[in-house]
Amino acid sequence: MHGFFLGAALFLILLMALSLYRAAYGPTVVDRLVGANAIGSKTVVLLIIIGHLFSREDMFVDIALAYAMLNFIAVLAASRYFHKRKGLDAVEEEITPRIHWD
């Protein structure tokens, strides 16, 4: 079972590395936000698996819970900050033509 959870943790790290592509090269700022949010939600699970591998679940569950709250607040703050076209103008002309919704 130890080896199985080690493999699961390595697979999660591989998925996080793939999500990092979207966080690094995403065409718009909100695309990067999607990648960062996906990495954060995988990190919560990864922390609990690490706690199981070290046989310290009681400690790492608290760390994972605090990380989940921190990730949630970080994503909320970043999306509130970027919701007025900030940082979107640089690439927007080629990627997405401008449209104004009601």
Residues making contact with another protein (CB under 8 A) = 1, 4-5, 8, 11-12, 15, 18-19, 21-22, 28, 30-31, 33-35, 37-38, 41-42, 44-45, 48-49, 52, 57-58, 61-62, 64-65, 68-69, 71-72, 75-76, 79-80, 82-85, 88, 96-101
Query: Distance between CA 16 and CA 49 in Å, rounded?
Result: 15
Kindly write down the DSSP assignment for every residue of 64-92, as one continuous string. HHHHHHHHHHHHHHHHHHTTTSTTTHHHH
| Distance in Å, CB of 71 to another protein, minimum | 8
| Distance in Å, CB of 46 to another protein, minimum | 9
| Distance in Å, CB of 54 to another protein, minimum | 13
Q: Is the dihedral of CA 15, 20, 23, 26 positive or negative?
A: negative
Query: Distance between CA 47 and CA 61 in Å, rounded?
Result: 8
| Distance in Å, CB of 83 to another protein, minimum | 4
Q: Two tokens at 28?
A: 């718009």
